[in-house]
Chain A
Amino acid sequence: MTEPLLKVRGLKIGATIYPPGEKSREIDIVHGVDFDLEPGKVLGLIGESGAGKSTIGLAAMAYGRGGVELTGGEVWVNGRDVLESNMTDKRRLRGAEVTYVSQSAAASFNPAKRIMEQVIEAAVGQGKFSKKDAEARAVALFDKLGLPDPENIGSRYPHQVSGGQLQRCMTALALCPQPDLVVFDEPTTALDVTTQIDVLKAIKDAIRDTGVAALYITHDLAVVAQVADHIMVLQQGAMVEYGTTDQIINNPKEEYTQALVSVRSIKHEEKIPTDKPLLRVEGVTARYSGTNFDVLKDINVEIHPGQTLAVVGESGSGKSTLARVITGLLPPSAGQIIFDERTLTPNLATRPLDDLRELQMIYQMADTAMNPRQTVGTIIGRPLEFYFGLKGKEKQTRIQELLDEIELGTGFQDRYPAELSGGQKQRVCIARALAAKPKLIICDEVTSALDPLVADGILKLLLNLQKVEDVAYLFITHDLATVKAIADSIAVMFRGSVVRYGPKSQVLAPPFDDYTDLLLSSVPEMRLGWLEETIANRKMESAGN
């Protein structure tokens, strides 16, 4: 057996936290993790947010982000314990032997410098290559990663290339100094599915061709299954299960891993459309003021009472704009919106209170959707007070009823949003929407910021509430797995138009138009070899992002 490139023994990582109103204290983020990584192999680190995966990834570079401290254990890279080495040695390690690819390339590149300058910085700065050789290497890597015009793309600025291209540039940056190990920290999470598949393929090929070893950090088991040789499942800073990719995916031993593998197994019976739709969007065209480009082009969709219409598409396809038009935040330039057999006025300010009440909205980021200075009781209580004039005891009782309905129970009324977990926050937002007794709730990417298991809980809650309250949903999402789980009808949007619309069973059944086919096939599936198969069978190239 070859000597492992990276050997981690009993790694302990701690941080100091400052809880409000209490003394600061030390907590352990990672409690004793062991693993080996052999040269040229890929290890997937998977877990929910807060599982410590990124922290472990950075520990391979002997780095603790923010107030994080590496408190114990050993990290051996190429036969040296890097935690014990001094600053000069650590500096030699980083960017030469171990490199890093972060989640948001857009936030990590310096916008004022050209891409090439940044890609070769580490390789030249570490003295591994001359400037000329490094540039030649970078061009070769650009080519290998499938970037258009590899000769010249380096002379562009970061804002002049798309998100997916920039993410590949960052991969080139990490590979340029010819490292032994690359840490990929959620490199495709911020990308659209159709872009993700290309970047994933590029990364996988680059890893294979350069023979570099990699730590691949992600929360998406289906993605990691495509690239990793081994997978380590983490939960709250401890290892749950370690095994080959095949074993983890097809034969998970631990209960937690089984839950991760079988996530999104919600079954939902499609409902038959009624003859009286609740909301009709008729020929809506819209553009933002000061632009000469229609973001929405002649949209026609219907939502039936107590049913769910899912609007699917990539970022920039106009899904959220449709929501803004329906709510009246953006008056359309043509077309009309008929809600409950009355025509809604185009502008929010002129709508009667009842129209506002019956049409509620839930946002993607529950963090910013709640005023951080208001308690949960105030947040949920305000619509009750505002629309129904409830006061005092009556209001309290109703708030508690709503909290019970979203499965939170007692003891939450006096808490502030910062004292809730991500899933709890989203539940409070749902309660706020429900408080208004709406007929339609617009859900804008409500689960995309949540961990898979938490998101699953939210979807189940929404489906239950639909049964109890008979409320309709307009569900905006880019995630087709979610759509399959909850929709009754589906509208697929592409560049501002609806390209496919109908009941779920029809939309998801062949024959497909080219775009729907691309979108459906790009959703990672939890099996080995899916990536290669899909790339080979594609009918339409993705936008080249």
Chain B
Amino acid sequence: MIRIPIGALIGLFFTGLFFLSAIFAPFIAPYGMAEVVGDVWEAPSDQFLLGTDSIGRDLLSRMIWGGQTTIFIATAATILSFTTGAVLGFFAAVSGGWVDQALSRFIDLIMSIPSLIFALVVLSVMPTTMLTLIVLMGLLDSTRVFRLARAVAVDITVMDYVEAARLRGEKIAWIIFRETLPNALSPLVAEMGLRFIFMVLFVSTLSFLGLGVQPPQADWGGIVKENKEGINYGIQAALYPAYAIAVLCISINLVADWVLSRTTSLKGGRG
């Protein structure tokens, strides 16, 4: 029986809650995503638990639907960025020489452009669909993952067991996936939690600026944007998405910390 520390339990609970509500949004949301059901900015009541938004849609429903969009985009983009970044990073480290140089300098080049600016430029010419958002965010963020994966893998590829594999005549895929990856996993998992959060913030930022998820589709950044005027009148509506992002951030990191401490204490695991 594995004993789960209390922090990780809390994290698991909230992470689970967010993901479940995202997956089962159509069943738990009391109203439709874009359904106008009441007056503008109604106060919380039995009918509307969190009140209504700037044009009279149920805010709780918007939050649930919005969570689905935000979490889906962030998850997909994180997976994309990790697959691309880690594979390229390992490839660069294992190959070494000019391959490594070319890849690393190219990544440096991309990283030298602030990613928000880069994203705004691309989104202003490309059609703003969910796919574009995911691919753009995933690829932009993979530069950071590349850096980390390469740094970790460079330390591993000088180990004697990697040399032994080379001497055996192993192909590069074996060296990347069987010798390097298992030993590089712990720092990558920790980074994954962090990057997921940055993805949530990134997509929310883009939506807040009006270049992300397009209305009437809901997402947390978009809800802040739609309701930001309400803050002047003491309306809480714009703050709920902020709370949601904060709770999600903390709980995901609690889980990541726990996974990290478990994987590093595995038999013979690297630190």
Q: Is the interface of B mostly helix, strand, loop or mixed?
A: helix
Known A368-B159, A372-B183: A419·B267 in contact at CB below 8 Å = yes
Q: A368-B161, A371-B182 are in contact. Are A417 and B170 (CB under 8 A)?
A: no
Nearest CB of chain A from residue B171's CB, rounded to whole Å: 10
Binary CB contact string for chain A from 373 to 398 against chain B (1 if under 8 A, 0 otherwise): 11000000011001000000000000
Report the separation of the CA atoms of residues A356 and B165 in the bound assembly, to the nearest whole angstrom: 11
B168 near A371: Cβ-Cβ < 8 Å: no
Q: Which residues of B approach A to under 8 Å, CB–CB?
A: 159-161, 163-164, 166-170, 178-179, 182-183, 265-270
**Docked CA distance A194–B229 (Å):** 81
- Contact among B161, B170, B267 with A369 in the assembled complex (CB-CB below 8 Å): B161
8 A-B pairs with least C-beta separation = A418-B268, A372-B268, A373-B182, A369-B160, A416-B267, A356-B169, A368-B160, A371-B161
30 contacts between A and B (CB under 8 A): A20-B266, A327-B167, A329-B163, A329-B166, A348-B166, A348-B167, A351-B169, A356-B167, A356-B168, A359-B167, A363-B160, A365-B160, A368-B160, A368-B161, A370-B161, A371-B161, A372-B183, A372-B267, A372-B268, A372-B270, A373-B268, A373-B269, A382-B168, A383-B168, A386-B168, A416-B268, A417-B268, A418-B267, A418-B268, A432-B164
For residue A428, give the distance in angstroms from its CB to the closest CB of chain B.
12
Once bound together, how far apart are the Cα atoms of A329 and B170, in whole Å? 14
Question: A328: nearest residue on chain B (CB-CB)?
Answer: B167
Query: Which residues of chain A come closer than 8 Å to B159, judged between CB atoms?
Result: 368
A327 contacts across to B, CB distance below 8 A: 167
Which residues on A sit within 8 Å (CB–CB) of B166?
329, 348
Q: How far is the CA of A365 from the CA of B163 in the complex (A)?
A: 13
A329 and B268 CA atoms in complex are apart in Å by: 28
**Nearest-CB distance from A387 to chain B (Å)?**
8
Contacts of B266 in A (CB 8 A): 20, 373
Q: Which residues from A are CB-within-8-Å of B182?
A: 371, 373-374
Q: Tell me which residues across on chain B come within 8 A of A357, comparing CB atoms.
A: 169
Please state if A386 and B170 are interface contacts (CB–CB under 8 Å): yes
Most buried by A among B164, B266, B267: B164
Q: Which residues of B contact A370 (CB under 8 A)?
A: 161
Nearest CB in chain A to that of B169: its residue: A356
- Which B residues are in CB contact (< 8 Å) with A374? 178, 182
Report how far A329 CA is from B113 CA in the complex, Å.
Answer: 39
Q: A348-B167, A372-B268 are in contact. List 7 more A-B contacts (CB 8 A).
A: A356-B169, A359-B167, A373-B268, A383-B168, A386-B168, A386-B169, A419-B268
Fill in one digit per residue for A338-353: 1 if any B CB lies within 8 Å of its CB, else 0: 0000000000100101
Residue from B167, B169, B183, B267 within 8 A of A371 (CB atoms): B183
Q: Are A369 and B169 in contact (CB under 8 A)?
A: no
Contacts of A419 in B (CB 8 A): 267-268
Seen from chain A, the residues whose Cβ lies within 8 Å of a Cβ on chain B are 18, 20-21, 327-329, 348, 351, 353, 356-357, 359-361, 363, 365, 368-374, 382-383, 386, 416-419, 432, 436
CB distance from A370 to the nearest CB of B (A): 6
Closest to B185 in A: A373
Interchain nearest-CB distance for A413 vs B (Å) = 14
- In the assembled complex, the CB of B189 is this many whole angstroms from the nearest CB of chain A, namely 14
List chain B residues, Cβ under 8 A from A373. 182-183, 266, 268-269
Residue with the greatest number of chain B CB neighbours at <10 A, chosen from A327, A357, A382, A432: A382
Compute how far the CA of A242 lies from the CA of B230 in the bound complex, rounded to whole angstroms.
Answer: 85
Q: B269 is contacted by which of A368, A372, A436 (Cβ under 8 Å)?
A: A372
- What residue in chain A is nearest B159 (Cβ atoms)? A368
Residues of A within 8 Å of B268, CB to CB, are 372-373, 416-419
User: Within the assembled complex, what's the spacing in Å between the Cα atoms of A374 and B159?
Assistant: 14
**Nearest chain B CB to A324's CB is how many angstroms away?**
9
Assembly CA distance A351 to B169 (angstroms) = 9
- Distance A383 CA – B168 CA, assembled complex (angstroms): 7
Question: A353 and B167 in contact (CB under 8 A), knowing A373-B183, A373-B269?
Answer: no
How far apart are A389's CB and chain B's nearest CB, in angstroms?
Answer: 14
Q: What CA separation (Å) do A353 and B183 show in the bound complex?
A: 27
In the complex, A372→B180 CA distance in Å? Answer: 11
- A544 CB to closest chain B CB (Å) equals 32
Measured CA separation A368–B161 after assembly (Å): 6
Distance in angstroms between the alpha carbons of A481 and B182 in the assembled complex: 40
Report chain B residues within 8 Å CB of A328.
Answer: 167
In the assembly, what is the distance between CA of A419 and CA of B268, in Å? 8
Q: Which residues does chain B contribute within 8 Å of A359, judged by CB atoms?
A: 167
Q: Nearest residue in A to B170 (C-beta to C-beta)?
A: A386
Known contacts A18-B265, A371-B182, A418-B268; A353 and B169 CB within 8 A of each other: yes
List B contacts of A368 (CB < 8 A). Answer: 159-161
Q: Is the CB of B169 within 8 A of A361?
A: no
A20 / chain B contacts, CB cutoff of 8 Å: 265-267
**Nearest CB in chain A: distance from B105 CB, A:** 19
Residues of B contacting A329 in the complex (Cβ-Cβ under 8 angstroms):
163, 166-167
Least distance between A329 CB and chain B CB atoms (Å): 7
CA distance A228 to B169 in the complex (A): 51
Residues of A within 8 Å of B265, CB to CB, are 18, 20
Chain A residues, Cβ within 8 Å of B183: 371-373
Q: In whole angstroms, what is the CA distance A386 to B169 when docked?
A: 9
Least Cβ distance of A436 to chain B in Å?
A: 8
In the assembled complex, which residues on chain A have CB atoms less than 8 Å from the CB atom of B160? 363, 365, 368-369
Which residue in chain B gives the minimum CB-CB distance to A379?
Answer: B161
Residues of A within 8 A of B161 (CB): 368-371
The reply to whether B167 and A361 form a contact with Cβ atoms under 8 Å apart is: yes
Give Cα A41 to B41, complex, Å: 89
CB contacts (< 8 Å) of A356 on chain B: these are 167-169
A341 to B168 Cα, complex, angstroms: 21
Tell me, rounded to whole Å, the shortest Cβ–Cβ distance linking A331 to chain B: 14
Question: In whole angstroms, what is the CA distance A18 to B267 when docked?
Answer: 11
Q: Which of B159, B168, B269 has the most CB of A within 10 A?
A: B168
Q: Which of chain B's residues has its CB closest to A367's CB?
A: B160
Query: Nearest-CB distance from B268 to chain A (Å)?
Result: 3
The answer on a CB contact under 8 Å between A371 and B179 is yes
- A388–chain B nearest beta-carbon distance, Å: 12
CB-defined contacts of A416 to chain B, threshold 8 Å: 267-268
Complex CA gap A363/B161 in Å reads 9
> Among the interface residues A327, A363, A373, A418, which one has the most CB atoms of the partner chain B within 10 A?
A373
Least CB distance from B175 to A in Å reads 11
Name the residue on B nearest A362 (C-beta): B164
User: What is the bound-complex CA distance between A284 and B208, given in angstroms?
Assistant: 67
Given A416-B267, A418-B268: A363 and B164 interface contact (C-beta under 8 Å): yes
Cα-based distance from A371 to B179 in the complex (angstroms): 7
Which residue of A is nearest B265, CB measured?
A20
- Which of chain A's residues have a CB closer than 8 A to the CB of B269? 372-373
| Contacting residues, chain B, for A361 (C-beta < 8 A) | 164, 167
Residues from chain A with Cβ under 8 Å of B178 in the complex: 371, 374
**Chain B residues near A418 (CB, 8 Å)?**
267-268
